[in-house]
Structure 1
């Protein structure tokens, strides 16, 4: 019992770290450096996890890691960075909390994985909660930030469908390290050409980048996958709900964002939708990507929390 409680507490660090990442990115990282922000998050964390996993890609996993690294790391991290910068922390966290529901619908459309009625009901309820949250955000919602959130979800969904098809032959932590490393390497030359030199590190940005890279990425993924080895998938999936809750609470407590009745109801509907969308059985574990977020109760085995 004590061992299970210890693993619950350790695993809970991951979604809490991912939820706090919205606030740290919004408050402390440079708004005009999304490419460098994503690269400095992905590559060091990928190398750390690669050293921990002690496995290199093999066979088709060389090109699979490159493709998934492009989708699940390079593109996703840039879009998530933009969304975190342009939307209030609580709004970004609530919108991205609907990612598992979007993944459910994408898997249905692209992979023919027919959801049950309860899953569809959860998707409707959760997406309705997102709409209610946006209406209760107060003032005009930044269109570019909202578009970045939606694009991030769509990219992550496609990456998830591919990772689920290629789940055999790779440990999830090792596959994540390959994708983070590949995505970070892809981002480096693009960031240098488009954004110039890396952002200057000072007393404000250096600890923030350290948190995003070491805590919200390397440590969070290591604890998440360790928890999946020691806890039931349903328990880990429920812990994933701490992600949006942490983002909303930090936005309210530290950024002074209002939490009106409409926004609160929207968050409640999103969480209810995710709970309804949880699978009732445990399928084989996919080779999870770093989004996986992500990501989460509506995804098989809760393996893709939004990051």
Structure 2
């Protein structure tokens, strides 16, 4: 498997595929909220729904590993401690913000705003790695990217709108995701990437369910056949995309493969406009997508150093 992951075209294909899967999550989740009649302000319903999704995703990976490579599931006490912390940050905390934030923003806005995680990763990597410092290209990219995220929040009359439990939560979800990316690269030494993903999803989702189930109101979620289908698809998105992403992250710089995350906001916005009633690609959304895409690409362009 390592030989395949060292091939450039394979890595690019995997990165783009993962980004499209993540982009599809935005309209799918918005449709899930509508289908299952979850109130936008029902925090516990979102926590339980997210917990169910990621528990399913984690178990899919762990059961697959039992069949494919059982020995890879074994972890030391130190690794178990890391996996618990990682599950808390990368699953429980990130998706608490993500699920509740997306309920209070459009699918297109959410897709664009959460792409700031790429820029946060670049900034954090600057302080962690001597060979991954900020340069002119990255600085230009950061400015373009964050400008695009600001533009995404302008209304048709270019009036700035901001809701902390909406856009604010999406930014916090992006920040915790960036921290998780660095954690995975630095601390997941000796853990198989599929096992890493399976354990962190399972542990993180278990924490969400322990908190959410006792406090959730009766009939807060109405399950339907279509709703179950959306939930299962979401679980598959998580298990497949995260496992593949962490596989390539082990062999490439976080900043390098993050370039291809420009596909996530683009695919997320296009799919949201296609699938969600009432959402359309406006000029400000298209402009924001262009700025974010340029920003993500620019931060990964290696400009030649001056003599």
User: If the TM-score is normalised by the length of the shorter chain, which range does it land in?
Assistant: 0.7 to 0.9
Query: Is 1:16 the equivalent of 2:35?
Result: no
**Correspondent of 1:181 among 187, 199, 202:** 202
1:172 corresponding residue in structure 2: 193
Query: Is 1:37 the equivalent of 2:49?
Result: yes
Return the alpha-carbon distance in structure 2 between the equivalents of residues 145 and 219 of structure 1. 27
Q: Whose Rg is larger?
A: 2
Q: Structure 1 residues 7, 254: CA separation in 2 closer, same or farther (over 3 Å shift)?
A: same
Q: Structure 1 residues 234, 118: CA separation in 2 closer, same or farther (over 3 Å shift)?
A: closer
Q: Which moved more, 1:91-100 or 1:271-280?
A: 271-280
1:51 corresponding residue in structure 2: 63
Query: Is 1:88 the equivalent of 2:97?
Result: no
Aligned length: 278
Q: Structure 1 residues 70, 6: CA separation in 2 closer, same or farther (over 3 Å shift)?
A: closer
1:106 corresponding residue in structure 2: 124
1:270 corresponding residue in structure 2: 292
Structure 2 residues without counterparts, runs of 5 or longer: 1-6
Return the alpha-carbon distance in structure 2 between the equivalents of residues 161 and 4 of structure 1. 22
Deviation at 1:148, TM superposition (A): 0.7
- CA deviation digits over 1:145-195, x for unaligned, max 9? 111111112222333333332142222222111111110111121011221
Q: Which moved more, 1:264-273 or 1:47-56?
A: 47-56
Task: Judge conservation of contact 2:121–2:181 (CA < 8 Å) in 1.
Answer: yes
Q: Structure 1 residues 269, 224: CA separation in 2 closer, same or farther (over 3 Å shift)?
A: same
- CA deviation digits over 1:10-50, x for unaligned, max 9? 76443222111111111223343111121011111111112
Q: Structure 1 residues 167, 232: CA separation in 2 closer, same or farther (over 3 Å shift)?
A: closer
Return the alpha-carbon distance in structure 2 between the equivalents of residues 201 and 134 of structure 1. 32
**Correspondent of 1:61 among 79, 83, 97:** 79
Provide the aligned C-alpha RMSD in A. 3.2
Task: Judge conservation of contact 2:259–2:299 (CA < 8 Å) in 1.
Answer: no
